Structure 1
Amino acid sequence: MGIVAVKNLLEEGFDVVGFERSSYSGGLWHFTEDEDTLSIIECEWADFGHTYPASYTDFPFPVGTPTFCTAKHVQDYLEAYVDHFHLRPHFRLSTVVTSISRDQDSGRWRVNIEEQPSEWFDKVVVATGPHIKPMMPAFEGADLFTGRLIHSKGFKKPEAFAGQRVVVVGLGNTGSDIADALVGHASNISISHHHGAVIMPRLLDGVPATSRISYRFIQLQGIINRWVPTLAEIVYNKAARQIMRDAFGEVDPAWRLDPALSVLVANPVVSDTLIANFRSKAISSITGIRRFTGGRRIELTSGETIEADAVICCTGYKNDFSLLDKEYDPSSTPSISWLKAPGSKDRPYPRLYQNVFSMTAPDSLAFLGCVWFVTGAFCLADIASMCIAQVWSGKASLPPQPEMQQWVDKQEKRICALAWRGAVIPATVPPSEWLSWADQTAGMGVGEHVGWGWKGWLFWWRERTLWRMVMDGPFTSVFWRLFPGRRKCWDGARAEIMRVNREVEERRAKAKLAEMSNDSKFSW
């Protein structure tokens, strides 16, 4: 997030400095064995999604990169991005920012740095991301446990748990990935969870499952959500369950995947191997942990007692804005409605306009990592930082304060309602609504060129093939750099969109041919 913020602000003529506490660029995608530093698990596949919508908007992954790539691919990609846009001179690595305050007279920001003199800046982007403080459950009797009790942040290599009985707490993407990684190493693996989950395959009909998401789908989703939200949710959940059944067959009640939380509250678990591991009993499903009773013994909420050598808590993170003075900390005033909701999990809730701009100093303070919906995080950070760059350069403007406050209040009400139903991600925003705002604010020209105006009709008339790919093909991040606008477009966007569409169609045809071949053999 910090990398793309520096790049987009430089592109608009700002003099930018990026501070990074680590000695490398790439954040959590740079593997480190330091258990106090968050990094990707060193296993074969990255929990990243596929590369089409996940890249930055003007720098796709190299041709030939696996559709679901490894963590090393992502690390190399980020390093290549930094070099391609000549960003290294603008970063100060191994530099720890201890606090940020604002001078009321000048409006400038004082950045205090560990073991170095403070420095002054006109504007600040907090791009620390959402993975700041690990959330550890408060287990009764935890001090009596003689095994290893850690947060997933401390899990680095499955070999460290060879021959051990391991309980993974939490049935989410991280819990699934860690449990899968432990197969073949740990002697016994259990996933402890309180509620069910929807398990989604990575591939459907030979292509990434998310390739079904198109720009037209996002627009229709926005319309349905606005006018018939209850019906929309029923349809989404039914479709997700059907995809799960088509991919994996019938679900054994012993796995406790039902009832699953709504896809509006909890992200589906994306895994090709978890169901197979449940089915083969390589991984077992158990209820939640009630308490530790001493030694290696654990009492479950079902009343059963088990023994474990290690417990790995995949219970997420919470954001932290304590670098800032309380006046500028967007979460400093607690939301009573949020804290009362069971799904808040005592996490801070930031009040930001469009989950990006400070409400107290929008002209000079913004945040990345507070916007989320199901798409690529790199792409989201790219778009959000383009909005920041356009507003601060004076090429775009924010609405009056009362209008911004109205949006913030509406967003808080929506998130609090979801938090009564499950542990919703506080950064969740309505995709179509947010992208519409971002398109106008960043000046990406999408609404003009694929809408109902004369530019939309002209694009449809002149570029019929490309128009179909844009509207109904797989949603690619480079789409946001295709059209001329205030932000810089990318000359390679057209070719990349066409390449991705060809690749997806070829894979679908290949999968269909293989299916027909198998059917033919079976009939014979």
Structure 2
Amino acid sequence: MTTSGHSAPPSPRPKTVAVIGLGAMGIVAVKNLVEEGFDVTGFERNPYVGGLWHYTDDKNTLSVLPDTQTNVTVDSGCYTDYPYPKGTPAYCSAKEVENYLESYVDHFGLRPHFHLNTIITGITRQDDFDKWRIDIEGQASRHFDKVVMATGPHVKPCMPDIKDAHLFSGPIIHSRAFKKPEELRGRRVVVLGLGNTGGDIADALVGIASSVTLSHNRGAVILPRFVNGLPASHLVTHRRIDIQGTAEKCIPSQLLGRLVSRKVKGIMKTAFGDIDPSWRLDPAPSLDVSVPVVSDTLMDHLRAGDVRSAPGIRRIVSPNEIELDDGTTIEADALICCTGYKNDFGILDTRFDPSANPPSEWKSSPGAKDRPLPRLYRNVFSLDQPGSLAFVGCVWFATGAFCLADLTSMCIAQVWAGKSSLPPAREMSRWADVQERRICSLAQRGSPIPTSVPHREWLMWADRTAGTGVFENLGWGCAGWRFWWRERELCRYMMDGVLAAAMWRVFDKGKRKPWEGAKAEIVRVNEAAREEKRIR
């Protein structure tokens, strides 16, 4: 009772949020929203969390292979306030990632918020009630104030249309269905597509298949995980991101792309030596329209002849014969299509599907390849319902996916909690227009990831929106000078050292929750890297 004898007004009911998908992106979205006081429920169709990092024999479900190794080091590839256990290898195994995700969920007490084995069949906007209706297979519908789509970019496999495929007697499968190399023992296997998945599967088949042919229409940049004995990802620092961001404003994009590609190709040559023209790695697309293939063994297999490089597939000639684009034919018993995935937002109310009306320039671009192009503000917020519909998994640039999902969901939580604001609708639409034109332009000369965004520009927006304070305290203003003066070693590590995910939890700007262990973690990973460099 109050002193006047009247009851205190009840506290406002927390806003309810549904998070769709509990892979690595969904679980961090639940965590960051719960941290801001939202009543969050996460839905997952599988009986487990972690998405593709949980191995399954189910050939209709995407998962890593048991021997998959990460392409990003654990110090930058983790969440921002929860490092991998000490002693974890720089590039760890898929099982170690799965264990890390399960540990993260338990550490932050997220399991009570999860509904597993739950299939969402539709998400509809109830305009009259200002709610979202979530339709659930075999259950009553539920209503929520807000929705986060965290289904990730690997929703639907992209299968190529191969002429006369019906003539082939062997299996033609998407890489999603490739689970056990042993199933193809003794067979002549053609792997279609030279990307990270194609390289991994070709490597996995060496010594098991009687022959492995890697069929691809374009070249590629192949990078090792280690350069001069040290993790290659340690070459990326905050200062270099700043420098490249400045260069993007001053140098035409195609020229900058060529300069970056030339630098990266130099790393490739240093690591692997001369490149045999028969491997067909040149000409490689510019890195602004393609992703490097990370592999420590593929080049050795090409050099030894264990993996043969061949042109793309023109058609199937007979039950065991494939004609290539150069007119030659090869014999094959199995074909694995490593042709990627695409987003799909089909369960959403059509009015709010961000990919429902792609521009004609995208549909006609040779690099579009029938993939959706989501139209969102900063590739995060719905332009129609930014206050109640957001997406995690529609932002891409070369960085750790877990850290990126953490930053994205921090931004969503801070905006919906009222601690940060979005610009007027007209400005958000204008940003989406510029983004569309940029991607459509890239698709004229390559096959860009549709959700790729300018690296530094997006990070600066996320820094302000989530309230991480990184760019302010590592900049040239008063805050930057104060930070440098008070904590010179930490400042140096954050600017020029390992790009540790923990850097996004150091400063307290009154928005997202800082992590008291962030500074110590940054010092630890940098001192470990310095010691490793000294030993080398």
TM-score range, shorter chain: over 0.9
- Could you tell me which residue of structure 2 aligns to residue 149 of structure 1? 172
Relative to the length of structure 1, the TM-score reads 0.96
* Cα deviations by residue, 1:93-150 (Å, 9 ceiling, x for unpaired): 0000000001111220000000000000000000000000100000001011001100
Per-residue deviation, residues 268-316 of structure 1 (Å, max 9, x unmatched): 1111111100000010000011000121111111111111111000000
Q: Is the 8 A contact 1:23 1:93 kept in 2?
A: yes
Partner of 1:59: 82
- Matched length: 510
Asked if the contact 2:31–2:110 (Cα under 8 Å) also holds between the matched residues in 1, the reply is yes
In structure 1, the residue matched to 2:219 is: 196
1:88 aligns with 2:136: no
Q: Does 1:300 align with 2:324?
A: yes
Check the 8 A contact 1:171/1:191 in 2, yes or no: yes
CA distance in 2, matches of 1:231, 1:464: 36
1:469 to 484, 493, 498: 493
Secondary structure at the counterpart of residue 76 of structure 2:
helix
Deviation >6 Å, runs of 4+:
none
Q: 1:129: which partner in 2? A: 152
- Partner of 2:75, secondary structure, is helix
TM-score with structure 2 setting the length: 0.94
In 1, Cα distance between the equivalents of 2:452 and 2:157? 19
SS in 1 for 2:39: coil
Where do residues 236-275 of structure 1 align in structure 2 (5 Å cutoff)? 236-275=260-299
Answer yes or no: is 1:115 the counterpart of 2:156.
no
Equivalent in 511, 523, 535 of residue 498 of structure 1 = 523
Q: Secondary structure at the match of 1:346?
A: coil
Match of 1:221 among 212, 236, 244: 244
Residue 479 of structure 1 is matched in structure 2 by 503
The partner residue of 1:10 within 26, 34, 42 is 34
- Taking the aligned partners of 1:100 and 1:123, their CA distance within structure 2 comes to 11
Cα offset, 1:196, TM superposition: 0.4
Tell me if the contact between 1:40 and 1:46 (Cα under 8 Å) persists in the aligned partners. Answer: no
User: Paired residue for 1:167?
Assistant: 190
Check the 8 A contact 1:206/1:510 in 2, yes or no: no
Question: Equivalents in 2 of 1:432, 1:315: separation in Å?
Answer: 29
- For 1:23 and 1:233, locate their aligned partners in 2 and report how far apart those are by CA, in whole Å: 43
Q: Secondary structure at the match of 1:358?
A: coil
Instruction: Tell me if 1:105 matches 2:114.
Output: no
Confirm or deny: 8 A CA contact 2:71 2:294 kept in the other structure. Answer: no
* Structure 1 stretch displaced more, 488-497 or 450-459: 450-459
Identity of aligned residues (%): 57
Contact persistence 1:47–1:173 (CA under 8 A): no
| Greater mean deviation of Cα atoms: 123-132 or 416-425 | 416-425
Residues in 1 aligned to 2:205 and 2:72: alpha-carbon distance in whole angstroms: 21
Partner of 1:328: 352
229-238 or 181-190: bigger deviation: 229-238
Please give the residue correspondences for 1:312-461 in structure 2 after superposition, counting only pairs within 5 Å.
312-461=336-485
CA distance in 2, matches of 1:422, 1:191: 20
For the residue of structure 2 that corresponds to 1:293, the secondary structure is strand
Separation in structure 2 between the aligned mates of residue 472 and residue 204 of structure 1, nearest angstrom: 17
Give, in angstroms, the shift of residue 234 of structure 1: 2.5
Distance 1:163 1:233 in 2: 42
Which one has the bigger helix percentage?
A: 1
Q: Give the Å deviation of 1:448.
A: 2.0
Deviates more, 1:78-87 or 1:290-299: 290-299
Q: Equivalent residue of 1:109, what SS?
A: strand
Instruction: Give the match for residue 199 of structure 2.
Output: 176
- In the aligned structure 2, how far is the partner of 1:375 from the partner of 1:447? 17
Query: Could you tell me whether the CA contact under 8 Å between 1:387 and 1:441 is conserved in 2?
Result: yes
User: 1: CA distance between counterparts of 2:205 and 2:502?
Assistant: 36
Aligned partners of 2:239 and 2:495 also within 8 Å: yes
| 1:521 aligned partner | none
Q: Gapped runs of 5+ residues in structure 1?
A: 512-524
AA aligned to 2:201 is I
Q: Is the 8 A contact 1:30 1:39 kept in 2?
A: yes
> For the residues of structure 2 that align with 1:207 and 1:90, how far apart are their CA atoms?
40
CA positional deviation for 1:454: 1.6
8 Å contact kept, 2:71–2:225: no
Letter in 2 for 1:256: R
Query: In structure 1, what is the Cα distance between the partners aligned to 2:151 and 2:69?
Result: 21
Give per-residue Cα distances to partners, 1:232-252, cap 9 Å, x unaligned: 222201101100010000000
Structure 2 residue aligned with 1:489: 514
CA apart distance, 1:37 = 0.7
Higher deviation after alignment, 469-478 or 449-458: 449-458
Shift of 1:507: 1.6
**Residue type matched to 1:498 in 2?**
V
In the alignment, what sits opposite 2:21?
none
Q: Deviations over 1:41-96 (max 9, x none)?
A: 122x3244211111000011111111110000000000000000000000000000
Aligned to 2:533: 508
Show the counterpart of 2:61.
Answer: 37
